Structure formats: structure tokens, C-alpha cells
Structure 1
Amino acid sequence: MNKRKALINEYKERKRRGCVYLVTNINNGKYLIGHSANVQSEQNKFQFACMTGTAFHPRLRKDWKEVGTQDFTLKVLEELEQKPDQGQEAFMDDLKALEQLWRATLDPAQEY
């Protein structure tokens, strides 16, 4: 039982890394920007979508089917570590603000 509690504590105390990511269609230059509280999770989702041929995001579905997975890339634009005293909601607000800053640097006409 102590080992289980230790594992639970270790899980709760792990460092959480969020990110702002960009999925780009290299064929036509269109992009999808987003944020996530878990960098590794987004990378795994993208990799899984590429392996299975299913769209990473519903907005990408049409182009994903037409051109295939090889024409899409995932780039982590910026990572952010959750502070120990920061709640989940505040962390997500920070990620959302960071996404808005990145969005301002991109061409809105090319967004999915």
C-alpha cells in the first residue's frame, strides 16, 4: 500500500509542461495553432494520427484525407512549465495567452 501511495504522490508532484503548437500543411501553407497542458500528449496524438491516417483535428480532416499525413508537420512553438503553486485553471489561462501572442505573429488568412 505504501508503494501505491508513493506512486500517486510522485504522479501528483511531477512537473507539468504545457505548450503552444502549430500543425502546418506544407502543401498549401495553412496551419492550425493550439495549446495543451501536456506537450508529450500532443506529440503522441499527432504521431498516432499519422500512423492511423485519422485527422489530428476535425478542421484538418478534409486536407488530411486529400493530401495525406506526410504533408503535415507538428511544431512546438513554445513550452511552459506549470509553477508548483499554480492551479490548473491559471496554467491553462497562461497557455491561452501565450497562444494568442503567437497567433498575432501568424497570417490569419492561412489558418484552418
Structure 2
Amino acid sequence: MDRKKELKEQYRMMKPEMGIYIVRSHFNNKCFIEATKDLKGTINGSRFKLEAGNHPNRELQKEWREHGKENFTIEILENLEYDKDETKTDYTEDLTLLRMIWEEKLIKEDRELYKK
């Protein structure tokens, strides 16, 4: 029973990768970016929603349906590292700032963003 408790505690202490990811359309060069505290989970969720036809971004969903998933890529743009002192637990502001930085970079690259 102790081993089970130990495994539960290890799982509870795991820190998921957080950062910014992008869904890029190769059809029209548009991008959808999102900041998240759980990259793998959110990316999997977004992919599932797009394939199921119920992604919250209607424009992205419409184009995914019309042009097919083979015309899109989903990738991580940047990981946000956890603070070393471990007292910080809320990274919302950091993620928001990182997203704004990436939006500016993409606009400078002449990419159009899917509107929220």
C-alpha cells in the first residue's frame, strides 16, 4: 500500500510542460496560437476537438473541415520553464506575455492570426 501512495505523490508532484503552441494552416498561412499550462494535454484536446468538429474557434474549425488535417501542422513554439525557487505557482501572466510576444513575431512574419 505504501508503494501506491508513493506513486500517487509522485504523480501529484509532476509538472506538465507549459508554453505556447501553434496550429498553422498551409492553405492560407493563418495561425492559431494558444498559451497553456499543459502543452501535451491542450494540444491533444485541440486536435481532438478539431477532428470532432467542435473546436471553439469557428473559423479555424471551418477551414480544418474544408481543407483537411493534412493542410495543418500543430507544434510547440516555446516552453516556459518553472521558477527554480518553486514558490511561484501561478504562471498565467508569464504565459499571457509570452503569447503576446509570439503574436507580434507572427504578425511581423506576415502571418494572419485566427481571431478569437
Q: TM-score range by the shorter chain?
A: 0.7 to 0.9
CA distance in 2, matches of 1:77, 1:57: 21
Moved over 6 A (4+): none
Residues 1:58 and 2:67 aligned together: no
Secondary structure of the structure 1 residue equivalent to 2:4 = helix
Identity of aligned residues (%): 28
Q: Deviations over 1:20-58 (max 9, x none)?
A: 0111111000111111111211332355456x4535543
Unaligned runs of 5+ in 2: none
More displaced 10-residue stretch of structure 1: 3-12 or 39-48: 39-48
**TM-score (norm: length of structure 1):** 0.79
Secondary structure of the structure 1 residue equivalent to 2:91 = helix
CA distance in 2, matches of 1:37, 1:86: 13
RMSD over aligned Cα atoms:
2.3
Q: Retained in 1: the 8 A contact 2:16–2:37?
A: yes
More displaced 10-residue stretch of structure 1: 91-100 or 36-45: 36-45
Q: Show the counterpart of 1:7.
A: 7
Secondary structure of the structure 2 residue equivalent to 1:12 = helix
1:80 deviation in Å?
1.3
Provide closer, same or farther for how the CA distance between residues 23 and 57 of structure 1 changes in structure 2, counting only shifts above 3 A: farther
Q: Which amino acid aligns with 2:42?
A: E
Q: Show the counterpart of 2:29.
A: 29
How many corresponding residue pairs?
A: 109
CA distance in 1, matches of 2:27, 2:4: 49
